[in-house]
Chain A
Amino acid sequence: DVKVTQSSRYLVKRTGEKVFLECVQDMDHENMFWYRQDPGLGLRLIYFSYDVKMKEKGDIPEGYSVSREKKERFSLILESASTNQTSMYLCASSSDRVPGNTIYFGEGSWLTVV
């Protein structure tokens, strides 16, 4: 089975702190994604990457950056956390080799910024 692992399930950070959310997948997937989930807004794409060192902005990239130095790892970075970034963050991955390109999700990281 595909495994997408987000290293932190629950984090509490202070305003202005730099925050790293880490995601690792074990199925050699080319594509990786970071979504943000908020009540009433559904899931919104922050950034995605289709190859090592490649990244593309999603729908809401402001205030975020990403890093993909290795194929299996995709990090989301909040350079200076703000309270409006309190949310659930979901990492996902997929492969172009898989018919239908199903996207697999991690368990989510709940970030609270105080």
Chain B
Amino acid sequence: AQTVTQSQPEMSVQEAETVTLSCTYDTSESDYYLFWYKQPPSRQMILVIRQEAYKQQNATENRFSVNFQKAAKSFSLKISDSQLGDAAMYFCAYRSPTQGGSEKLVFGKGTKLTVNP
């Protein structure tokens, strides 16, 4: 079974600075998807960024980017120019390719990010 590990339960960053959240995963599959989700205090889970394993290029969404190292099974999230609104729980998630119409996400335990003004 696939597992996802986020080794940093909590992180903090100064406003306008850069922070990197770590995520590693374990799988025997060669094709899969990886995600970072953000959960602010309002509790709505929001997709931040998505990476397809077959793509070598790292995904980027505005101030959010990933460092995807497939051989090392590492998928870290970099937040540049941190803003107060970035404060949230961040979850790393793994998904196998769809099989027979069913699918599920496997989540890490989350990293709580605090942004200091």
Cβ of B42 under 8 Å from chain A: yes
Measured CB to CB, the closest approach of chain B to A53, in angstroms, equals 14
Determine if A22 is an interface residue (Cβ-Cβ < 8 Å). Answer: no
Q: Which single member of A44, A101, A106, A108 contacts B103 (CB below 8 Å)?
A: A101
Question: CB of A43 within 8 A of chain B?
Answer: yes
A64 within 8 A of B: no
Within the assembled complex, what's the spacing in Å between the Cα atoms of A98 and B105?
A: 16
Within 8 A of A (CB), among B2-55: 9, 33, 35, 37, 42-47, 50, 52
* Contact partners of B91 in chain A: CB under 8 A: 42-43
- From known contacts A42-B109, A42-B110, infer whether A105 and B50 are also in contact, taking CB-CB under 8 Å: no
Q: How many residues of B contact A (CB 8 A)?
A: 25
A110 to B100 CA separation, bound complex (whole angstroms) = 32
Which residues of A sit under 8 angstroms from B101, Cβ to Cβ?
A: 30-31, 50-51, 96
**B68 in the interface, Cβ–Cβ < 8 Å?**
no
Q: Does B107 contact A (CB under 8 A)?
A: yes
Q: What is the bound-complex CA distance between A104 and B44, given in angstroms?
A: 10
> What is the interface residue range for chain A against chain B?
20 to 34
A108 to chain B, nearest CB (A): 4
Q: Is A45 a contact partner of B43 (Cβ separation < 8 A)?
A: no
Given contacts A102-B50, A108-B44, contact A41 B109 (CB under 8 A): yes
- Check if A101 sits within 8 Å of B33, measured CB to CB: yes
* A31 / chain B contacts, CB cutoff of 8 Å: 101-103
Nearest residue (CB) in B for A110 is: B43
Q: Check if B104 sits within 8 Å of A48, measured CB to CB.
A: yes
Q: How far is the CB of B5 from chain A (nearest CB, A)?
A: 10
**Residues on the A chain within 8 Å of B95, using CB:** 101, 103
Which positions in A face B, CB cutoff 8 Å? 30-31, 33, 35, 40-45, 48, 50-51, 56, 58, 88, 90, 92, 94, 96, 100-108
What would 5 more interface pairs be, CB under 8 Å, given A50-B103, A56-B102, A107-B43?
Answer: A50-B102, A92-B45, A102-B47, A103-B95, A105-B46
